[in-house]
Structure formats: structure tokens, C-alpha cells
Homo-oligomer: A and B are copies of this chain.
């Protein structure tokens, strides 16, 4: 059967501790979210609608990011043209 040397043993302990620490943080964040919604509900808000808003905003952010990456790639492709007048025009067309 395989055995772990003292060095690996320390590493292992560190890994487990770090993961468990992070999982606690993750759970804390999730609990916080639940709390916020619970409080909102107590103040008369429609929690389902709130979740829908958050969801939509996240999707919007993703879409924006995606778009910016495309623009980015265009910019890069046009890179060597960027400081010339006609290059400027091309960039304008690509990002319009």
C-alpha cells in the first residue's frame, strides 16, 4: 500500500484545509444570499422576481463580455492598422 512521506503529508493537510476553508466561505456567501432574500420577502418583495432580475443582469453582463471579446479580437486583427487613418475607419466599421 502506498504511503505518504512527511513532506507530502504536510502538503496534503494544507490542501484539505484550504479547500474546507473555501467551502466554508462559499457556504457563508450562499447563506448570506438566502438571508437577503428572506429579509426582502419580509419587506413585501416578490423573491422570484428579484431572482429573475439578478439572473437577467448576470446574463447581460456575460453577453457584454462576449461582445467585448469579439471586438477585442477584431481590434487585435486590425492591430497593425490602428494608427493609420484608413485603419481607424476599419475599426469603426468593425465595432459599430
Contacts and interface: CB of A to CB of B under 8 A. Distances in A.
A84 B20 contact: yes
Contacts of A19: 33, 36-37, 50, 54
Nearest to A9: B77
- Interface of A (DSSP majority class): helix
Interface residues of A, number: 63
Nearest to A33: B22
Contacts of A3: 73, 76-77
Nearest to A25: B29
A20 B86 contact: yes
Given A19-B37, A57-B20, A70 B84 contact: no
Contacts of A49: 67, 70-71, 74
Interface of A: 1-4, 8-9, 11-13, 15-26, 28-30, 32-33, 36-37, 40, 43, 45-46, 48-50, 52-54, 56-58, 60-62, 67, 69-78, 81, 84-87, 90, 93-94
